[in-house]
Amino acid sequence: MASFHNKILRVNLTDGTIAVEEPGQVYLRRYMGGWNIIADVLLKEVPKGADPLGPENKLVFAPGVLTGLAISGAARMAVGAKSPLTGGFGAAEVGGYFGSEFKQAGFDALIVEGVSPKPVYLWIKDGQVEIRDASHLWGKTTKETLEALREESDRRAQAAMIGPGGENMVRYACVMDGLKDAAGRTGLGAVMGSKRLKAVVARATNRLEGVNPEKVREMARFEAEQVREGKRSAGMSKWGTGGGDMMDGVLQGNLPIRNFRDGEFPEGDGLSYIMDKIGVQMEGCYACAVRCKKVVKAETPQYSVDPSYGGPEYETLGSLGSTCGVSDVVAVSRANELCNAYSLDTIGAGVTIAFAMECFENGLLTLEDTDGIDLRFGNGDAMIQMVSKIARREGLGNLLAEGLATIAEKIGRGSEMYAMQTKNQAFPMHEPRFKRGLAIGYAVSPTGADHCHSLHDSGMVNATDEGFTTNGRLRGLGVLEPMPLESLGPEKVRAGIYHSTVNVMFNCLPMCMFPGWSVNEMAELVEAATGWDVTTYELMQVGERALNLARVYNMREGFTIDDDRLPERSYGPTIGGALADGGIDREELREAVQTYYGMMGWDEETGKPRRGTLESLDIGWAASYLPQ
C-alpha cells in the first residue's frame, strides 16, 4: 500500500460542511506535500490582499508522502496560511505525533476555511470526521485542553491545538502538536484562533508501511544503528539542541546577547548543560531513533517547571535566555512551559521581550507602560510575567503581541533600531554577522528570518570539517571547496541556494534534518514509500518549486526587493565580544542578494521569478499571479 491516500480533507467552518477531494497521483508527486500544497492553496484559493485573520484566509495542515512511516525523521508535517505576522507566505513545520496520526487516519492534507460561529474542534478517526463544540475548552491551556479532548474522544488520540495565545490572535502564536512540539513560526496559531478552531484531534488504528515495507524497515534499522553507534546525530540523543556548553556560542559570536546588542555574557554558564541540572529524560517523535527532545523538571522557591511540557530547545535557551540577558535556566524553562501552554512561538516571544527590555532601559517604555514591571535585561521574573501578559494581551502585552516592525513603528523615537526582524518575523538564535550565509538566507527567506532553511556556513571553512560534509548535504551536490566565513560572494550564494533547496524539499516530504539522511537516501525512501521512480534531481525540483511558489505568493501580496534586507543593527558590530569588529557590509549583501536572484532564475532587478523558470518547474500557471 502506498504511503499516501489521494485524499485531501476540506472543512468549511462557516457552514459546517465536510468534503474529501482526490487530487490524483500527478499532483501528489509534483508537490509531495508540505510547503508546495500550502502554496498551491494560498495562490489559487485565498484572494489577493485577504485579511490573514479574516474568513478568506485558509489554514492548511500538510503532511507529505513520507509522514507516518515508522522511520526516523518522518513524523513531520507543515502547517500554513497567509501569515498574520508577515502578511505573506506562512509556513511552519513540526514533529511529534499528530502529523503521523492524522496521516494514518486516512488523509494527505486538511484545508480549513471560513470561520466558525462558536469554538469547535475537529475529531478525525479512521477516515470519519466530525465538527464538535469546543466552547468549554476556550480559554484553557494546551495541557487542560489535551486532557479534556482525550477524555471525550480516545485516550490515545493526538491533537494539534492552541492555547490562549492563539485564541487572542497573538501575531506569533503557534500551533502545538501535543504539549512539547510547536509549528512555531509565522503566527499560524493566530489563524487557528481567528477561525475559532481550538484543536484538530486524530486517532488511527491503521499503520502506513509503504509500497516496499521491507525496504522501509531496512532503512529504519540502518538509521537506528547509525545513531546508536554515534555516526549520525552525535550527542543529540544525550543533550538535544543547546544541551551542552552555551558559552561556546558566546565565544564564537553566534549566541545573541541582550537583543543582539552585546557580545559578552559571562553568566552564560547558567544556561549550559541543562540536562545535568534539571533534566528528567530524553524523548523523541513518532518512530524516531534520535530522541532529541529534552524533558526537564524543577521546584525552586521562585519557580516550578512541569515536565509535561518538555524542555527548552537551543532556540528557546537563546531567545528567552541570553537574548533577554537571563541566565537562570529554571526561569527560562518556566517561560518555555508557559509558551507551550499558551501556544506562543518561543523565538517570537523572547526576541519581542528583549526588544521591550532595550526600549525600557533607554526610556522609551516606562514603569507606567509596563504596569510596574522592572523590564530590564536579566530580570527573569519580568520576562516570565511578560509572556503571560502577551498571551492574554493584557497591558503592554497587547502591543507586544504584534510583530516587531509594527511595535517599533508605534513606539517610534528610534526604537526601529532595536527591532531584530526581517519581514516582521523575529530573528532566530543564530547570528548572521558570524554566519554570513545566514545573512543572505534571512534576507531572502519567504517566511522572514529562518534558521532551518538558511545556510549555516560556519562548518564550511575547512574542507575537512565535519560540518562541510553534513551541512545541507552539499558535497554530494557539487559544493567541493571550503570558503571563508566572511564571504558573501557567488560561491557562498550558490552553496546557500543548494542548502535551502534541500531543506525546503525536506519541508515538503516532510522529513526532519536531524537523522542526517542524504539526498540519495531520500530518493530511495520516497521510492520505497510511494512506488514512484524518483531521482535526486526530481527531489531537488520539489524544493525549488516550493521556493518559487512562495516567492510568487509574496510578490502577489505586495512584497518587493526592498523587503529582502536585514535590520540596521546587523550592519554594525556588537558591544564587545567576538563581533566587536563585525558588521555586515551593506553593499556586499545587496550584491549577494542580486546574485541570488540571478542564480534562482529570477529577474535580477525586480526579484520576480521568470516565466521560463516557472515553466521549467512545471508551475507555469503561477506566472499569472505575479504583478505586472
Q: Per-residue b/e over 595-619, b at no fewer than 16 CB within 10 Å?
A: bbbeebbbeeeebbbbeebbeebeb
pLDDT of residue 466: 56
Averaged pLDDT, 537-556: 98
Domains of the chain in start order, with CATH, are 8-203 (3.60.9.10), 215-426 (1.10.569.10), 436-450+454-506+535-625 (1.10.599.10)
CA distance 440 to 495: 11
> How confident is the model over 560-586, as a mean pLDDT?
97
Confidence of residue 463 (pLDDT cuts 50, 70, 90): low
Residues 6+ apart with CB under 8 A from 573: 263, 433, 579, 580, 581, 582, 583
| pLDDT value at residue 475 | 84
Q: Cell numbers at residue 343, please?
A: 501556544
- CA 52 vs CA 46, 57, 154, 167, 268: distances in Å: 10, 6, 33, 14, 39
Mean pLDDT of the chain: 97
Residue 569: predicted pLDDT: 98
CB 352 within 8 A of CB 339: no
Query: What average pLDDT score do residues 183-189 get?
Result: 98
- Residues 235-282: tens digit of each pLDDT: 899 999 999 999 999 999 999 999 999 999 999 999 999 999 999 999
The pLDDT of 587-610, averaged and rounded, is 98
Which residues, other chains included, contact 292 with Cβ-Cβ below 8 Å and sequence gap of 6+?
Answer: 233, 236, 237, 240, 241, 282, 284, 514
Strand 197-203 versus strand 421-422 pairing type: unpaired
pLDDT score, position 451: 96
Q: Quote the pLDDT of residue 537.
A: 97
- 511 near 33, Cβ under 8 Å? no
Q: Categorize the per-residue pLDDT at 307 as very low, low, confident or very high, splitting at 50, 70 and 90.
A: very high
Percent with pLDDT over 70 in the chain: 98
Alpha carbon 415 to chain centroid distance? Answer: 26
Per-residue pLDDT at 50 exceeds 50 = yes
In terms of Cβ atoms closer than 10 Å to its own Cβ (0-12, 13-18, 19+), residue 488 is buried
Band (464; pLDDT cuts 50, 70, 90): low
pLDDT value, residue 465: 63
Per-residue model confidence as pLDDT tens digits over 270-297: 999 999 999 999 999 999 999 999 999 9
Instruction: Assess whether pLDDT exceeds 60 at residue 469.
Output: no
Query: How far does the chain reach from its first CA to its final CA, in angstroms?
Result: 46
Compute the distance between CA of residue 472 and CA of residue 500 in angstroms, rounded to an integer.
8
pLDDT at 476: 85
3-state secondary structure (DSSP) of residue 281: strand
In tens, the pLDDT along 99-125 reads 999 999 999 999 999 999 999 999 999
Model confidence at 471: pLDDT above 50: no
7, exposed or middle or buried, with CB in 10 Å at 0-12, 13-18, 19+? middle
Query: Going by C-beta distance under 8 Å and a sequence separation of 6 or more, which residues neighbour residue 484?
Result: 461
Q: Give the Cα separation of 15 and 7 in Å (integer).
A: 21
Contacts of 600-605 with CB under 8 Å at 24 or more apart are 600/497, 600/547, 600/548, 602/551, 605/561
Q: Report the alpha-carbon distance of residue 582 to residue 575 in Å, rounded.
A: 10
Q: Is the pLDDT of residue 480 over 90?
A: no
β strands within 100-216, DSSP E: 109-113, 120-125, 128-133, 158-161, 175-177, 181-183, 197-203
pLDDT at 470: 47
What is the structure's pLDDT at 409?
98
DSSP state of 427: P
pLDDT for res 8: 98
Q: What is the pLDDT of residues 347-369, one digit of tens each?
A: 999 999 999 999 999 999 999 99
Give percent above pLDDT 90 in the chain.
95
Least confident of 65-69, 444-448, 460-464, 496-500: 460-464
| Digit-coded pLDDT (tens) for 368-424 | 999 999 999 999 999 999 999 999 999 999 999 999 999 999 999 999 999 999 999
Q: Residue 468's pLDDT is what?
A: 52
Q: Does 467 score more than 70 pLDDT?
A: no
pTM of the model: 0.98
> Range with the lowest mean pLDDT among 160-174, 227-241, 271-285, 470-484?
470-484
Element (H, E) at 542: helix 536-556
Q: What DSSP string runs through 338-361?
A: HHHHHTB-HHHHHHHHHHHHHHHH
